[in-house]
Amino acid sequence: MFEFFLPVGLVSLLYLAIGSFINRNNARYLLAGYNTMSEEKRKKFPIDSYLVFFKKFFNRMSIFTLLSALFFYLIFIEQTAVTIWAIFQIIPYVYFVFQSLKY
């Protein structure tokens, strides 16, 4: 059980850290795509509204990670639960990519 929930907890904390620590001041250095934009494009980019979406997504991902892991752990054997959990971590990123295209 410990071997299953230790990585899950670390991934969840990583998502929480990403959602908490990226802000307007450090986005220029940490956000892929935004950090390679010219200064002119950065001025046109709605960074404040994007960061609201970005932070909300990663904060929710930290909760989703824990809840989905617990759910799969209770339903399946550990090996199957790990595999399904890992696959389910990819699905929200499809949503994230398509929603990010709006910005």
Q: Which tokens hold the place of 95?
A: 């949503």
Q: What is the pLDDT of residue 40?
A: 93
Proportion of the chain in helix, strand, coil states, percent, rounded to 5: 80, 0, 20
Task: Check residue 103 and give its pLDDT.
Answer: 86
| Residue 100 Cα to chain centre, angstroms | 12
Look up residue 20 and give its amino acid. S
Q: Taking each helix axis from N to C terminus, what angle separates 2-21 and 78-88, rounded to the nearest 10 degrees?
A: 20
**pLDDT tens-digit series, residues 1-58:** 777 889 899 999 999 999 999 999 999 999 988 989 999 999 999 999 999 999 999 9
